[in-house]
Each structure stands twice: as structure tokens, then as C-alpha cells.
A and B are shown apart, each in its own frame.
Chain A
Amino acid sequence: MNLTLKVWRQKDAKSTGKMVTYRAENISPDMSFLEMLDVVNESLTLKGDEPIHFDHDCREGICGMCSLYINGRPHGPKKAITTCQLHMRSFHDGETITIEPWRAGPFPVIKDLIVDRSSFDRIQQAGGFVSVNTGGVPDANIIPIPKVIADEAFNSATCIGCGACVAACKNASAMLFVSAKVSQLGMLPQGQPERWSRVQAMVAQMDAEGFGNCTNTGACEAECPKEITLTNISRMNNDFFSAKLFREEGVHENSGGGE
């Protein structure tokens, strides 16, 4: 396959970037999208050019490191996969592919296609955990959890924090991510003691990072490689309003991590 790539190149966080056109030649349809970029980078390196920088790690769709906004869609045209799981057979010979970094104020571009997603880490550190005190090891089956609850919590927990939801959202809202992280603990018995402080702390951090507000378009849900559903956002809203309006529990001070 021969392809034309339009790639966002940006020297560093301070520079202004621009789209640069490259040729990708002799690409196997069985290559993954990232392998295709590896091939292009190989030729760029041989020519003495700076290779295209992009995020990647496990290359099997579980780490949440890879990103790329491909032809107007995060993680490319296929449903429920990450960019590393996208294969070149999903494109046709001679196609022009536009590759951009995630675009959001709280995701500043570091270089080329790499963005800084540490805003997600700070949200997670604000309350996305269960505090465990040391002591004897409890029996694993001592707390019964209904299967439907366990399954739903696990579905929320499959979020890999890649940021595709923010990239897809017209408002650059992070609510799908935050709600998944709130839900995965808020539904389980172990997450109950901090349930009301957690949701307040995480939403406050999300707002502080400058993400947009959800307008329930559902673009995030459609683009999520792990198929996290909008139900999570609804659940987060419910917990948040419940915590803020009906419970006498504020956000705990110095809740570990964060500032």
C-alpha cells in the first residue's frame, strides 16, 4: 500500500506546530497503524530527519498509552480498539490519512503527536482510590457482592485512561473518564467509606484542570476503546448531587496525592 500522511509536527510545547505531508510507501495491510508509523520514521531517520514522535507502550490495547486522532476520529475509524490495534487493512491504497494529537487545553502537546495527560493522573490522585489500612489479610470471599454489581463495576474499571473521550468530545470534557473512575469504586462495598468525598474531590480536580462540560452527545461512548458507557456519567452526577446537596460530608482535606 502507498499512502499520503498529513501529520502534525510541533518541535516542543512552546513552538507552534503545522501539518506536514509525508509519503508512506510499501506498507503491508497487515501492519498495525503504529508499525506503519515505525516504517515512516525509519525512512525519516535514514534521511536525517527528526522522526515523528508518538506515544505507545504495550501495543496490545491495554495500557492506554497510544493516542492519535486519525481522519477525525480518536484511535481511527474502527470501534472499540486503540490505535495500536488498528490495522492498515482498514484503509485503502492511495488514501490520505490525517494524523493529529488529542486536542484539549488540559492535554498540552509536548512534541508532535504526544500530549501531556498528567491531568488525568491528578484527577485520579484526588480521590480515585480506596484507602486500605494495614492489618491481617481478610478472606477474599468475606464480602458478598451481587454479580450484576461486580460486572458493572468491572466494566467501568476497564477504562485505560487513554483520553479518547476527551479527544472525541466537542467540549473536550473528561466526564466519561472521571465517571468511570468514580463508578468502579463507588459501586463496590470497599469503595463505600470514601464514596461521597471521592466524587467531590475528583470532580473538583476535573474542573480545576479546565476540561469542558458534558452535553451528553455520546461521542465519547462511541469512541471509547473500552466501550465505557454514558451510564457512568449519570451515576457520577447522581453521586455528586447526592454528596453535595444531601450529605453532610465535605471533601476531605489532604486526601493524598494532588498538591
Chain B
Amino acid sequence: MSEIKQTFNSSLGKKLIMALTGLFLCTFIIVHVAGNLFLFKNDDGYGFNVYANFLTHFPPIEVVAYLLYLAILVHALYGLILTIQNRRARPVSYAVQTKSPASWSSKNMGLLGSILFLFLVIHMGDFWYKYKFTDTVGYKEYRTNVLTNERIVSDFTPADPSFEHSSTTENDVEIVRVKDLHARVADSFSNVWYVLFYVLAMGAVSFHLLHGFQSAFQTLGWTHRKYSPVVKFIGTWLFAVIIPLGFALMPVVYFIQSLGR
């Protein structure tokens, strides 16, 4: 046991933890951005609300979700521990600022990570916490005629405060009643400061992963002349461009829509 402890307390062991939790978070945001594409569907939030309901009521996903929160905390904590150690390794700093070439993102991972942590606190406080632990999120009722695909949407107020969701059928009409997270999203994204903060945070995601994704592979020792360029390509285009852009578009599109209302 002490040998395992020693492994994970070594410099490389701590880096291994950073790399593994980081890559886990990378796989998560692929799912997160893909699922949230429901926000772009013009269906009064039906798809998005049902998806949100699924995520919070399907036990295996709930288990993974708590592993995810743990990974975020461990990643942040180890990042802090390593940063403190790294500062301590140079007690007297240079008089001249370093001119050694290194990418901006690689030198500012701590700053970018701090922005992201602040973002996560606000983001989860606004959606996850309110959705799961408060009754500030309203309900919607979707009546879909399964033959004509016509859908009638109305607000719904449950009589029982412990009501969570229901899915019933009345003749050919499917009635789905779920928490209306979509309205919460639309409300938050009508605030210009909120939108700006989200866009800034997605910029931080981009730069954090531009360095972080390929850096994790380097830390794990998975470098190869043939495959490392592929890792760099994925890290740059998928994780630093497509995903942050997809996320940033959500508040921007909702803000523009809110102007029309």
C-alpha cells in the first residue's frame, strides 16, 4: 500500500493524476457539447428538457456524474499542489522576464484553470444546483399527437411538490411533463454580462485544452512519431476549436433570440 502511495506522491505520480483526470474531463465535454446541441433545436425545449431529465434520473449516469465532480476537484487540487511546489522550486526569481520560447497557453494553465473553476462554480450553481436542489425551475407539459406529430406546449404546475416527471399516454397523445431547464437557460442567456462571461470562459477552455490535451499524452508517455501529430491535430481542432466554439454559440444564439422577443 505504501508503495502505491509513494508512486502517486512522486512528481510523476501527481502528473499522472493530472493527466488522467484531465483526459476524463476531455471525454466528458464531448458528450456535454453533443447533448447540448438540443438547445439549437426549435422545439420549445422538448428535446433538451427530456435529455436533462434523462441525465438526472438514469442511475449509471448519476454515478459517472459524481465521478466527474470528483475528477474536477482532484484536477484542481493537484494543479494547485503542483503549482505551489513549482513556485517553491525557484525561491529567487529572475530579474529579467524569461524570453525562452514556449506557447502562451502552456505558460498560463493555472490562470486558465482558475477562470474555468470560477466558471464551473457559477455554471453549476445556476443550472445543476437549481435544477436538482431547488424548486425555482418550473415545469412544462408537452402533448404530442403521435400520429400527426403536432405538439401543444403549456406550463405545468404540479400539485405535489415532490413531483419530478411523468410520461403518460392519452389515446394517441403522449403527455410528457418535465422540469423546464430550457426556460432557465433562455433566461440566463438573455443577460449580456452572463453571455460575455460564458464566451470568455469558452476562450479559456480553448487555450487550456490546446495545451492540456496533448500535454496529457506526453505526461502518460504516449508519444510516437506516427501518432503524436494525430493527437496534436485532435487537441487543436476538436478540443480547442470545435468544442469551445459549439459551447460559445449557445449563449450567443440565445442572446440574439432574446433581443427579438
Contact = CB atoms under 8 A, between A and B. Distances in A.
Nearest to B101: A222
B90 A72 contact: no
Interface string B62-104: 0000000000000000000010011011111111111111110
Contacts of B82: 213, 215
B95 A171 contact: no
Interface in A212-232: 212-219, 222-223, 230-231
A177 interface: no
Interface string A177-194: 000000000000000000
B146 interface: no
B218 interface: yes
A211 interface: yes
Interface string A34-74: 00000000000000000000000000000000000101111
B16 A103 contact: no
A168 B221 contact: no
A223 B100 contact: yes
Interface string A96-109: 00101001111001
A172 interface: yes
Interface string A223-248: 10000001101111111110011000
Contacts of A1: none
B100 A213 contact: no
B10 A207 contact: yes
Q: Which of B88, B91, B221 has the most CB of A within 10 A?
A: B221
Interface string B15-36: 1100000000000000000000
A86 interface: no
Contacts of B7: 244-245
Contacts of B211: 216
Contacts of B92: 103, 109
A215 B89 contact: no
Given A203-B11, A216-B218, A234-B223, A74 B106 contact: no
A250 interface: yes
B215 interface: yes
A210 B89 contact: yes
Contacts of B214: 216
B86 A222 contact: no
A73 B106 contact: no
Contact of B89 (A8, A171, A235, A241): A171
A238 B82 CA distance: 20
A69 B100 CA distance: 11
A244 B221 contact: no
A87 interface: no
A173 B97 CA distance: 17
Interface in B189-235: 211, 214-215, 218-223
B160 interface: no
Contact of B95 (A19, A105, A203, A230): A19
Given A71-B96, A230-B218, A237-B221, A214 B15 contact: yes
B3 interface: yes
Contacts of A223: 100
A206 interface: yes
A159 to B, nearest CB: 18
B261 interface: no
B13 interface: yes
Contact of B222 (A72, A213, A234): A234
B96 A168 contact: no
B78 to A, nearest CB: 10
A130 interface: no
B14 interface: yes
B86 A212 contact: yes
Contacts of B101: 218-219, 222
Given A72-B94, A172-B90, A241-B12, 19 more contacts: A71-B99, A72-B100, A73-B99, A77-B99, A106-B89, A203-B11, A203-B12, A211-B89, A212-B85, A217-B102, A217-B106, A218-B106, A219-B100, A219-B102, A230-B223, A234-B221, A237-B15, A237-B220, A240-B221
Interface of A: 6, 8, 19, 69, 71-74, 77, 98, 100, 103-106, 109, 168, 170-173, 175, 203-204, 206-207, 210-219, 222-223, 230-231, 233-241, 244-245, 250
6 contacts: A109-B92, A168-B98, A171-B86, A235-B221, A238-B222, A241-B12
